[in-house]
Structure 1
Amino acid sequence: MTSSTADPMKSGADRLSFQQLADVMPQMVWSTLPDGSHDYYNAQWYAFTGAPEGSTDGEGWNGMFHPDDQERAWARWRRSLQTGEPYEIEYRLRHHSGEYRWTLGRALPLRGDDGEIVRWVGTCTDIHEQKRFAQQNQILSRELSHRIKNIFAVVNGLIGLSGRQAPEISGFARQLQDRIAALGRAHDYVRPHSEESARHDGPATLKTLLLELLSPYPALDEGRIAVTGDDLRVDDRGATPIGLVFHELATNSTKYGALSSPTGHIDIALAVTGGNASLAWRETGGPAIMRPPGLSGFGTRLTDLSVVQQLGGTIDRDWTREGLQVAISVPVKALSRIN
């Protein structure tokens, strides 16, 4: 069986129809024996690579990959051969022009009546332009995000300058600076990163975002703040309003609630039920609450705006004698585009 005429199908009409079908497909089509030895490529493979017919049979195909991708491609292919798992990988394949182009390789096993693999049939699809556009978009996203971060810093600086020039508003200015700083931390957590600036503590999730927002408070290191329960992904859609809400709760707790006492505790419980995420804030060990305070402050209106209007959720407050309890419910899809 030669590479130009070898066929995973039977002889006669089946062979003719398969070759005709394979040769007119826009993808490169190939097949291998059960052990992974390549013995068939369609016309598109030779047109793309410019390789002489038969030169990539057996294991010769690996030499067509970029040197940096060869071991990775081999490892993934060996795993599929050992387990029968579908093969899928992106690698750079040498084009007949001499350049390496990004390609998506896929293969599935063909099994006999006894369930044993009798052949692998795969394709290679040129995705070089898509990869290039994606990389450009990533660069633009990182640049835009960097500029947004700089805007946070500039605005914070202007507020601080105004507060120093007008001492009568210095208290408000400091509160506004704290809120902007919270937004900046939330933004930095979910913004697009390069390999050099990327966080390496796992995906952006609600739990880790809350821990990041609460990290300036000593009570977290002292074990007096706990975040428990289910976890969810969060991106820029949910991070900004969540950042504002929990910044306000922590700030008020530091002034009047559990965090104003060395024995105070805050428990944050997360739960997912159906399409909704519940975030429960519970304070204990702080000053006893004799009566509920008024709800006309700017921070309260900002919190309600974040939860109700931005996230499409609900927020309920209960001032028990032991401490404030807040129940927040928001649609899961409001926190991230991929939840």
Structure 2
Amino acid sequence: MKLERNDVKLTTLTTKGGCGCKIGPADLSQVLRTLPPAPFDENLLVGLETSDDAGVYKLTDDLAIVQTLDFFTPIVDDPYDFGQIAATNAISDVYAMGGKPMTALNIVAFPISKLDKGILTEILRGAADKLKEAGVTLVGGHSIDDQEPKFGLSVTGIVHPDHVKSNAGARPGDRLILTKPIGVGIYTTSLKHGALSEEEIRQVTAVMTMLNKTAAEVMAPYEVHATTDVTGFGLLGHATEMAKASDVGIRIDYEKVPVLPRTRELAEAGRIPGGTKNNYAHVEEEILFSEQMDQIDRYILCDAVTSGGLLISVSSDKAEDLLNDLRKNGVDAHMIGEITAENRKKIQVI
């Protein structure tokens, strides 16, 4: 079943200029810094300060909750797949914090009088199946009648307060592992313009619907110092947040970063989303690019990802073991760089 009725695709039903992507990091930081600081609460283990993936609040000495929320407009033309992608993306933040996702609430905006109700049924069915795969219980939700279809979830997980993973613990000498390829934003933009083959659509959909559950479970016993998932702010955007929160430098080897096939070709054809360009504009002053890299290379590293992989900072003496363990368990993991004491709060791309 395709996301289309009367020759209209949901991927084209965003408002003029809208893309369904996150508000850009520059605009968002400008808004947030005008707000008064929240009252101090000693039980808030992870809040706004480090731009982390989710909030973590301690309930007891042995239990904390992880809370996150994410939603967006359709990025594929199959409602079932869209529901799966939205669920996978929302759940990922809990995995990135070292938590176990437990419950979820659906968030629905849908033009109920314009589009077939069966489309919404398929979106919700896709999300429900992905929640089942993750072992997450759906406990309710909220819906509104809107001109633009949007869907996502609020997810709550649990974690031991002593085992919280954040983006603030990376240490010089750590190695960096990435568990999914980038280029997703360029691919989904190309899909909207009819520039992908059916096989390429299946390929990018498979990336976006793969839970980070296995990666999180495999990394749990290792000496992992920091994690984040790579989503709307792109690889370099989220890496920059890690560098700043941890007060370290990061060196990334561009040739080792996994990228979806034909990403560069599509980018050269102009299929670069506005969110990707916004990401680049926000971080370009923080990045020390190799002179051999052209503008397309730089955009690719800043590509706005939906439902990306985990970026893991792990002790160097355990990095190869973790990489091999991830691969043995079916995770497409790659060693892409290291944490350094030089160039603190900046990224060097070699």
Per the normalisation by structure 2, the TM-score is 0.24
Max Rg structure: 1
Higher relative contact order (CA 8 A, sep 6+): 2
Per the normalisation by structure 1, the TM-score is 0.25
Q: Which has the higher helix share?
A: 1
